[in-house]
Amino acid sequence: MSELTRIPAPDGVAPATAYTHVVMGTGRFVAVSGQLALDEDGKLVGEGDAAAQARQVFENLRRCLASADATFDDVVKLTYFVTDMAHMPTIREARAAHIPDDRLPAASAVQVAALVRPEFLMEIEAFAVVGGYNA
């Protein structure tokens, strides 16, 4: 696990709500492609159900991070692509099962007209820093 420094409110910037403005660390960089609500067989989980899709997406992120010897503790940035911003509270609930409020990464949320298939409600990508030390 990387030692990360979080700056939730840099001077002159409004405090962050449900994310951290700046996360710094040194070590090995890990980029995880946007994950969708697909199970290990490539089948959609939770058609029309944002909560079920969010849980599956975070499980997929967890598995991808683990494949790189990383955990959610190493995540410095999440990017959310959602078809409806109304899904964000549900996504935050799923995230809370993996990332406590005192370890929130930097984040961006973007509403999109559509994802690769119309049944997907969200896609989430992650960036992590593993190992190293605080500079």
User: Fold for domain 30-130?
Assistant: 60s Ribosomal Protein L30; Chain: A; (3.30.1330)
| Cβ pair 94, 51 in contact under 8 A | yes
Cα–Cα distance between 17 and 8 in angstroms, integer? Answer: 9
Query: Which pLDDT belongs to residue 135?
Result: 42
In this prediction the pTM is 0.89
Q: What is the mean pLDDT of each run of 10 residues along the chain (135 residues)?
A: 81 89 89 96 97 98 96 96 98 98 95 97 97 59
Q: For the chain, which residues make up each domain, given as ranges?
A: 30-130
